Amino acid sequence: MTMLTHTRLTVRTEPLPVTGEFPPLFALLGAHGGAGVSTLATMWAPAADTDRCWPTSPATTRRVLVVAREHMSGIAAAADVLRAAHEGTAPLGVQVCGLITVAAEPARASKDVLRYARTVAELAPHSYRVPWVKSLIPLLHRQLPTWRPTDGVKATRANPDGVLASVPSAIAAVGQQICDDLAADRAVAHSDPSQTVA
C-alpha cells in the first residue's frame, strides 16, 4: 500500500478494502486513535476504515466521515482534520461529508465538550452522534453484527449467550441517517451540475 503524508494525515493511494458484497459507500477516517472507527466500520456494511488515511483511490469511495471520541482531545483532533479539509488541503477528489462523534462514557459529556463539538460540527456538511452502547463492551470484533441499509432500524436483539444478534438500534439509526444524507446530497449534486460528488 502506498502511503504519502498530507496535512498531518497519510494519503492512501490503494483502494479501500471491500469486506462485504459491495464496495464501501463511505469511508470512516479516525481523527485520532481510539475514536471507534474499526467498530463502526465492522457494524456498518456500507463503511470502510481508512486506517487514519485520506482515501484517494477512485476505485473505491472518497466520501469521508471524520470520526472522533466525544472528549476534548478527540473533538480538537477532529477540528484539525476538518479545518484542513475546509481550507482545501485535503487531497484532490476527497469529499468530507460529515463528522461522527462517539460517546466516550455512559454519562453525558460536559457542557464544554458538547459546545465545542457543536462548533466543530459546523465545519462539516452533516454531523452525527453515536451514543454509549453498553452491550458492545464485552464483545470482540468478530462477534459484532453487521447492519445493511436494507435492514432498516430494528429493536436491538441478543442471542441467548448474550452476543448481539442485530446491530444496536441507536447505531443502526446513525448508519441509516448517513446513508439517507449521502443519497440526498448525491441527488442534489446530480440535479445541480455546479456541485461535484466523489
CATH number of the CATH domain containing 32: 3.40.50
Dmax (CA) for the chain in angstroms is 53
Q: What percentage of the chain carries pLDDT values higher than 90?
A: 75
The answer to whether residue 195 sits within a structural domain is no
In the predicted model, is pLDDT for residue 73 greater than 50?
yes
- The residue-averaged pLDDT of 142-171 equals 88
Can you tell me the distance from the alpha carbon of 28 to that of 44, in angstroms, rounded to the nearest whole number? 10
- The residue-averaged pLDDT of 70-76 equals 98
* Helix locations, 72-110, DSSP H: 72-86
Sign, CA dihedral 178-183-186-192, equals negative
pLDDT band at 60 (very low <50, low <70, confident <90, very high): very high
Number of independent structural domains in the chain: 1
The answer to whether residue 155 sits within a structural domain is no
Q: Which residues pair with 100 in a beta bridge?
A: 67, 128
pLDDT reported for residue 198:
52
Domain that holds residue 86: 3-139
Amino acid at 194: S
The answer to whether residue 172 sits within a structural domain is no
Can you tell me the distance from the alpha carbon of 20 to that of 25, in angstroms, rounded to the nearest whole number? 11
For residues 136 and 157, the model is more confident at 136
Quote the cell numbers at residue 174: 446513525
The answer to whether residue 69 sits within a structural domain is yes
In the predicted model, is pLDDT for residue 118 greater than 60?
yes
Task: Kindly report the pTM of this predicted structure.
Answer: 0.90
The answer to whether residue 119 sits within a structural domain is yes
pLDDT reported for residue 28:
98
Residues 179, 185, 188, CA angle at the centre, nearest 5°? 140
pLDDT reported for residue 159:
79
The answer to whether residue 70 sits within a structural domain is yes
pLDDT band at 63 (very low <50, low <70, confident <90, very high): very high
The answer to whether residue 189 sits within a structural domain is no
pLDDT reported for residue 9:
79
pLDDT reported for residue 155:
83
Q: What percentage of the chain carries pLDDT values higher than 70?
A: 92
Q: Are 51 and 41 in contact (CB under 8 A)?
A: no
Question: Chain-centre distance of CA 13, in angstroms?
Answer: 19
Burial of residue 71 (CB within 10 Å: 0-12, 13-18, 19+) is buried
In the predicted model, is pLDDT for residue 3 greater than 90?
no
